[in-house]
């Protein structure tokens, strides 16, 4: 039997769930994994919270120095979040030769190259399963489950807050601002929801996951990002009538022409497996050259689901003497040999408000033709839907779905249509067929 001592930095939602899981399942891990994992110390300013969790007073550390100099602590768990204090504490732990397990996606996304270099130098581990997709074992799958494959693409719903908001808007016809307030009340969204609704959280996770999937560094600065704050309930309803479901997707594609990585609201066919992933659940859909299609699905956040991923890393680190590091050259910037595609290809959904006069449709179709864009659907679908008020009695809504084209071409077409003086493009949403 192997004995392993751990320390937990930060006992908020995730840290508290991790402490609870480790204490309650200690005998179970001893029986099933032949390892005795003991929480030796915790570090958190909120003493009331520690008392509520039942942390013995003798296990409450007063400083990070007390933890990193403790010979009984083998693994340090960081669940503080953010970059400042968390990064300083993790750096101290790695410098002292302590293996680190973290749920901190922003820190891993931006500084894994520094932290991994330090871990290698001091012959300790750096594990971060819980940084992406909550309790869903996506990182372990990439490392130990699908490594026989060249991963060609991945699409993921990796943020529970935005998925909850879009689900409520789709099924209840609710307004974005109204659902956001509800999500904040329920604790799904922060008081400042920017990281979630503007796509930063998904961007950090895509950087981590695509780097691992494609075996090359994908800096977050290379990722196209667009959030959901401008999403209109009309488009969700109209998309539904056309057979589409709207999701905020993190998309990575590794093609012969280069790598494309993007986060944005996306229409997908209602028959696609990701279309049925609702509320705060997350999922990642991958395509491998040998495996084909595979999807991992589960809770993307929460105390115990995320704690499950944290403790999984602790057990892995405790039971494996060989330490695994990145399968790629982990540097701050991308390798110079990697080409990133910014003018990516997609189909597009557009909602326009146009003059209700003869010849308008011909002029708009002419613009698409001049831009080399062919159309799948052109419809005044909004006239069938009485849910939404008419914005302008002299104009009619027009919904268009294009065949696959490029970002540059569609943006050129939008600019030309808006310059005609007969209407304007109100919404532009990418479509993954």
- Hey, which residues are catalytic here? 205
Integer Cα distance of 427 and 235 in angstroms? 8
Inter-residue contact 280 to 299 (CB < 8 Å): yes
Integer Cα distance of 159 and 312 in angstroms? 21
Q: Name beta bridge partners: 39.
A: 6
What is residue 194's three-state secondary structure?
Answer: helix
Q: Name beta bridge partners: 288.
A: 151, 292
Give the DSSP H or E segment for 56: none
Inter-residue contact 377 to 349 (CB < 8 Å): no
Q: Name beta bridge partners: 377.
A: 401
What is residue 148's three-state secondary structure?
Answer: coil
Kindly write down the DSSP assignment for every residue of 281-319, as one continuous string.
EEEEEEEETTTEEEEEEEE-SSHHHHHHHHHHHHHHHHH
C-alpha distances in angstroms, 382 versus 104, 238, 269? Answer: 44, 7, 19
By C-alpha distance, which of 161, 237, 201, 247 is closest to 81? 201
Query: Token match 């808007």: residue?
Result: 169
Exposed e or buried b per residue across 31-44, where buried means at least 16 C-beta atoms within 10 angstroms of its C-beta? eeeebebebbbbbb
Integer Cα distance of 258 and 334 in angstroms? 13
Inter-residue contact 115 to 140 (CB < 8 Å): no
What is residue 409's three-state secondary structure?
Answer: helix
Q: How would you classify the pairing of strands 99-102 and 258-269?
A: unpaired
């Amino acid at each position: 039997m192997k004995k392993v001592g751990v320390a937990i930095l930060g006992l908020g939602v995730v840290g508290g769930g991790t402490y609870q899981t480790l204490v309650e399942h200690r005998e179970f891990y001893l029986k099933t994994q032949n390892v005795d994992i003991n929480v030796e110390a915790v570090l958190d300013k909120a003493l009331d919270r520690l008392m509520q969790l039942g942390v013995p007073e003798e296990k409450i550390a007063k400083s990070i120095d007390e933890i990193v100099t403790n010979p009984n602590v083998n693994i340090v768990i960081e669940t503080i979040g953010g970059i400042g204090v968390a990064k300083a504490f993790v750096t101290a732990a790695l410098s002292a030769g302590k293996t680190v397990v973290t749920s901190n996606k922003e820190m891993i996304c931006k500084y894994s190259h520094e932290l991994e270099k330090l871990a290698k130098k001091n012959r300790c581990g750096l594990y971060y399963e819980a940084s992406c997709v909550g309790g869903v074992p996506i990182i372990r799958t990439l490392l130990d489950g699908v490594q026989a494959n060249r991963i060609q693409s991945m699409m993921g719903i990796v943020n529970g807050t935005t998925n909850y908001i879009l689900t409520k808007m789709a099924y209840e016809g609710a307004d974005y601002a109204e659902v956001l307030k509800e999500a904040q009340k329920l604790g799904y969204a922060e008081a400042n929801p920017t990281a979630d609704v503007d796509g930063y959280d998904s961007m950090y996770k895509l950087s981590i996951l695509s780097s691992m999937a494609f075996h090359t560094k994908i800096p977050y600065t290379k990722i196209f990002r667009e959030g959901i704050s401008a999403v209109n309930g009309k488009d969700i309803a109209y998309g539904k009538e056309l057979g589409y479901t709207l999701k905020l997707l993190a998309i990575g594609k590794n093609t012969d022409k280069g790598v494309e990585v993007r986060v944005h609201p996306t229409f997908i066919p209602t028959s696609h497996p990701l279309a049925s992933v609702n509320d705060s659940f997350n999922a990642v859909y991958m395509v491998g050259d040998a495996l084909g299609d595979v999807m991992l699905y589960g809770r993307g956040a929460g105390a115990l689901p995320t704690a499950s991923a944290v403790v999984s890393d602790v057990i892995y680190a405790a039971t494996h003497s060989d330490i695994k590091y990145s399968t790629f050259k982990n540097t701050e910037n991308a390798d110079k040999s990697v080409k990133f595609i910014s003018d990516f290809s997609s189909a597009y959904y557009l909602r326009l408000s146009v003059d209700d006069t003869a010849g308008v449709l011909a002029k708009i179709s002419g613009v698409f033709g001049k831009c080399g864009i062919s159309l799948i659907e052109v419809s005044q679908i909004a006239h069938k839907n009485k849910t939404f008020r008419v914005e302008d009695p002299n104009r009619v809504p027009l919904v268009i779905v294009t065949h696959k084209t490029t970002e540059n071409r569609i943006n050129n077409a939008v600019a030309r249509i808006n310059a005609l003086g007969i209407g304007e493009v109100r919404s532009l949403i990418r479509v993954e067929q």
